[in-house]
Amino acid sequence: MPLCPCAFEPLSRSLINRYIMKTPKIIYQVDAFTTEPFKGNPAAVCILDSEPSITWMQNIAMEMNLYDFCLRFFAPAIGIDEDPVTGSAHCALVPFWYMKTGRNDFISHQVSKRTGILKVSLKGDRVEISGQAKTILKAEVFV
């Protein structure tokens, strides 16, 4: 029996039915919340006749390299109109998403004006946050 390369399990009719739609569907990748291409929030849109399984939706999102979750953070009462990238919010959201999905690792998109893409992981009782950085200023201090 042939093997499914993605799962290394024998390819069976039930496995095919679990992962492959009976009729092909069109998936659109759209940039939401913007009128310009390559801005806003990338999202996959697929018009379906019925609700697919959560596993199917998560696999499509991973295949499309989309984010596991997106967020915005506002705290105007303490003078923060919108925080560009909020580590403390991620520290609360990662355990929440772990409880919902059973996964420890996520890719998050903070959808602020400045935006930020974070790799976040639940490590015991802590959240590890990582990502990219770009140096924009180099200076000398004489004090």
Q: Report pLDDT digits (tens) over 94-130.
A: 999 999 989 999 988 887 888 788 889 999 999 999 8
Classify 67-133 by CATH class: alpha beta
Burial status of residue 90 (CB atoms within 10 A of its CB: 0-12, 13-18, 19 or more): buried
CB atoms within 10 A of CB 44: 15
Q: Phi/psi at 97 (nearest 5 deg)?
A: -70, -30
Per-residue pLDDT at 7: 41
Q: Helices (H) and strands (E) in the chain — how many of each?
A: 3, 10
**% of the chain residues with pLDDT over 70:** 76
Mean pLDDT across 32-38: 75
Per-residue pLDDT at 128: 95
Amino acid at 76: P
- Domain positions in the chain are 23-66, 67-133
Say how far apart CA 26 and CA 129 lie, in whole Å: 34
Q: Which residue has the higher pLDDT, 78 or 17?
A: 78
pLDDT at 5 over 50: no
